[in-house]
Structure 1
Amino acid sequence: MKEIEWKMQGKIKRLTNYTFKFDDRVKEGWFSAVYFLKTRELADKYHKNNIVTMQFFQKSEAVLCGTDEVIALIHEFSDHPEALEIHSLKDGDKISPFETVLTITGPYQEFGYLEGMIDGILARRTSVATSVYNVKKAAELSGKQKPVIFMGDRDDHFMQQAGDGYAAYIGGSTAQATHAMNEWWGKEGMGTMPHALIQLFNGDIVAATRAYEETFPNDELIALVDYNNDVITDSLKVARAFGSKLKGVRVDTSRTLIDQYFLRNQETLGTFDPRGVNAELIFALRRALDEEGFHHVKIVVSGGFNESRIVEFEKQGVPVDMYGVGSSLLKIHIGFTGDLVMLNGEAQAKAGRRYRPNPRLEKVEF
């Protein structure tokens, strides 16, 4: 496994000191479709001096991500990267359907076998960045700045965390669940307490929160309050116990459960779905905290949130201060395509495809 410290210079100004971990077997073609490897061999045998241009695009409105990683990949595994001319948009650029985001010009055998990997990098990073961007935009429909915590550690293979965390950062999430998710942009993971901590204290939310506060006094104190399925009761318990030290409470009620608040106030039932983290529960929690003077305690919600659910909350004015989002952000829904479109400076492409120059592209200098 190679660690590549990539410092982009030249016309494209990017963040620096990313560390990309590439498997040495990329060079052998281990991760490339076999037909690309055969084409590399044939190009080297029959048309070694041909110069081709490959362009990459996708079909959605999106937030581009993965270009630095792709350029580092090419630079590392091309035998002669100086022989290649690369033009690219930047990570974080808003892109349109069919807009060219990257072009590579040079001998096919220098980079063509990486085509599938390039598509995959751009697809995953752009999908995550775009999903986070859309969620962040939804969370701020009310006009207030509301952080989105990227909690995707349990929803995919752990080796994806660094790249996914960076893509989430590009999309607008500045709080991430693990240290690995922050590796490429120089921060540390952010987290409070899991249900496991409360279980260790026999379900005693105050005792668990006190242990956390004593052990991590420099952290913002945010208590997880749904363990006993009695969000309001437990929120008030920790608020009374910790006063101004308590910065927030997190509600993560299972979608299969109805909180004890509704069982005590059954007259409220009948007009909405009372399961899980619902708007009525959060309204009631905010009222209960405010009535006892705990206006400073923020409310964090998590558990099954996605863009549409956040939009629904924001349109209703639900008093949420921060959203924790996981699995919905990791679905790969944006696919990239690489096409050869120029041969020795002349148009040459498969039917239905053509060279589409993009004046927004900037030359990459190695």
Structure 2
Amino acid sequence: MSSGVSSSFCVAAIDDATIKARTDSYFNRTREIVSRFGDCVVTYAVFIRRPVLSATAIVETWLKNISRERGIEILVEPVFTEGDWVGAGEPLLYVTGFFSHLAQLETLMLQKLGACCVAAHRAYQMALSLPKAQFLAMEARHCAGYEMQELMSYGASVGSRAAQKEGAVGFVGGANDATASFFGGTHGFGTMPHALIGYAGSTLRAAEMFHEVYPDSDLTVLVDYYGREITDGLAVCRHFRDLAHAGRVGLRLDTHGGRFLEGLDPQESYAVLDRYVPDAIRRYRSEGELRNLIGTGVSAAAIWRMREVLDDAGFEKVKIVVSSGFGVTKCASMADANAPIDVVGTGSFIPKLWNETYATADIVTYDGVESVKTGREFLLPSFRKAEERQRKLLHRG
């Protein structure tokens, strides 16, 4: 699979007792009832109620591992190629096997699908909005545990590859080593947190410490800790002038949403954008768009101002790295302002509305006979195209 999913991730099979404990009780009871009254071959159609990108490799691999560990046969037929756009309600895949084998797997199967597909769609939208920028997946700290982080990283990698097919740079890596393989790497990216600057006592001293320990690494420095993004940013560039001129220095803007970048206020923010992208502020804007353009925090005006200062000082090759709330909407606002962004650090591909991630599975055939819940007949047409092939693949007994 092109995703880099391996059995060392959350797709690893788990023991029967754990599966039973984590499965909805009515599925466990269904398995017992079916085992007593006679098994049958069933096919599930799995779908999501909102448009997504297909990101099914994790659940496919997990089912394959379960099949191998339990010595059973489960046939999984994806309807779409990984990264394809999927309309609301369209089946993503069909899963065929004995009812007694599959009933107990539905809960865990759905957990590994919906959120990946929505994250993939959001990452795709973000990467396409800013096609020239590199993206770094920094979702780890916002996830409810490591398994969720794997699902989100996988989703971001799928969305990124889809955007790359349309010319975007996309996601080039993540924040830690464990999920680096999703992006074709072996290690995570990142140089320093705010805490290191507090420890060092100054932004420049933190940069010196980092460079002394990691002299061969490019230097990306947070510059908002003391509220002197411009002053401290220029100090770092001047101190590491050779690195800066070689394009190996980056300044990361992570300005708190409660304050403006050094030297800016609403009037000055308007003036900055008027110098570079006047059309961006001369038409109707929503309150949220205005905040992204000329508000506090990491606004388009803040990014343009930092680029202006760096270029005026002769540091045209110094990169601007941005973070703080860069989701679908903010990336679109930055694109509208043609903000000079080199790298975006973000975890905001995590689905914003979690109820949009709910995947659903419905059985559509029992021993080859069509039967589906009233109102879900839309699941049948595309299944009929694959039905005969699935029957040939399944070996009963």
Question: In percent, how many aligned pairs have the same letter?
Answer: 27
Please point out which of 123, 130, 133 is paired with 1:146.
133
Q: TM-score, normalised by structure 1?
A: 0.85
Is the CA contact 1:32–1:116 (under 8 Å) kept in the aligned structure 2?
Answer: yes
Is the CA contact 2:119–2:349 (under 8 Å) kept in the aligned structure 1?
Answer: no
Residue 29 of structure 1 aligns with an amino acid whose one-letter code is K
Structure 1 residue 119 corresponds to structure 2 residue 110: yes
What is the rounded CA distance, in whole Å, between the counterparts of 1:119 and 1:277 in structure 2? 37
Structure 1 residue 161 corresponds to structure 2 residue 149: yes
User: Which residue pairs with 1:255 in the alignment?
Assistant: 257
Please point out which of 221, 224, 242 is paired with 1:226.
224
Structure 1 residue 190 corresponds to structure 2 residue 189: yes
1:44-103: per-residue Cα shift (whole Å, max 9, x none)? Answer: 11122x2111111122221122x2322333233347655333211443232222222111
User: Which residue pairs with 2:347 in the alignment?
Assistant: 326
What is the rounded CA distance, in whole Å, between the counterparts of 2:120 and 2:206 in structure 1? 35
How far residue 106 of structure 1 moved from its aligned partner, in angstroms, is: 2.1
SS at match of 2:361: strand
User: Which residue pairs with 1:276 in the alignment?
Assistant: 297
Is the CA contact 1:74–1:81 (under 8 Å) kept in the aligned structure 2?
Answer: no
Decide which structure has greater helix share: 2
Is the CA contact 1:244–1:296 (under 8 Å) kept in the aligned structure 2?
Answer: no
SS at match of 2:339: coil
What is the rounded CA distance, in whole Å, between the counterparts of 2:210 and 2:36 in structure 1? 65
What is the rounded CA distance, in whole Å, between the counterparts of 2:261 and 2:3 in structure 1? 47
Residues 1:15 and 1:303: Cα distance change in structure 2 (over 3 Å)? closer
Is the CA contact 1:63–1:93 (under 8 Å) kept in the aligned structure 2?
Answer: yes
What are the residue-to-residue correspondences of 1:53-68 with 2, within 5 Å? 53-65=43-55, 67-68=56-57
User: Which residue pairs with 1:205 in the alignment?
Assistant: 203
Is the CA contact 1:155–1:327 (under 8 Å) kept in the aligned structure 2?
Answer: no
Structure 1 residue 352 corresponds to structure 2 residue 341: no
Is the CA contact 2:112–2:151 (under 8 Å) kept in the aligned structure 1?
Answer: no
How far residue 121 of structure 1 moved from its aligned partner, in angstroms, is: 0.8
How far residue 120 of structure 1 moved from its aligned partner, in angstroms, is: 1.5
User: Which residue pairs with 1:4 in the alignment?
Assistant: none
Residue 283 of structure 1 aligns with an amino acid whose one-letter code is W
Structure number with higher relative contact order (C-alpha < 8 Å, ≥ 6 residues apart): 1
Residues 1:306 and 1:40: Cα distance change in structure 2 (over 3 Å)? same
How far residue 313 of structure 1 moved from its aligned partner, in angstroms, is: 1.2
Structure 1 residue 171 corresponds to structure 2 residue 154: no
The 10-residue stretch of structure 1 (273-282 or 251-260) with the greater mean CA deviation from structure 2: 273-282
Residues 1:196 and 1:15: Cα distance change in structure 2 (over 3 Å)? closer
Residues 1:338 and 1:274: Cα distance change in structure 2 (over 3 Å)? closer
Residue 302 of structure 1 aligns with an amino acid whose one-letter code is S
Residues 1:153 and 1:241: Cα distance change in structure 2 (over 3 Å)? same
SS at match of 1:277: coil
User: Which residue pairs with 1:3 in the alignment?
Assistant: none
Residue 146 of structure 1 aligns with an amino acid whose one-letter code is A
Q: TM-score, normalised by structure 2?
A: 0.79
What is the rounded CA distance, in whole Å, between the counterparts of 2:235 and 2:83 in structure 1? 43
Residue 187 of structure 2 aligns with an amino acid whose one-letter code is E
Structure 1 portions without partners, runs of 5+:
1-7
How far residue 335 of structure 1 moved from its aligned partner, in angstroms, is: 2.2
Structure 2 portions without partners, runs of 5+:
161-170, 272-289
Residues 1:171 and 1:187: Cα distance change in structure 2 (over 3 Å)? farther
> RMSD value over aligned CA atoms?
2.7
User: Which residue pairs with 1:335 in the alignment?
Assistant: 358
Please point out which of 307, 319, 322 is paired with 1:301.
322
What is the rounded CA distance, in whole Å, between the counterparts of 2:212 and 2:126 in structure 1? 34
SS at match of 2:357: coil
What is the rounded CA distance, in whole Å, between the counterparts of 1:31 and 1:16 in structure 2? 23
Residues 1:28 and 1:198: Cα distance change in structure 2 (over 3 Å)? closer
The 10-residue stretch of structure 1 (231-240 or 175-184) with the greater mean CA deviation from structure 2: 175-184
Residues 1:39 and 1:82: Cα distance change in structure 2 (over 3 Å)? closer
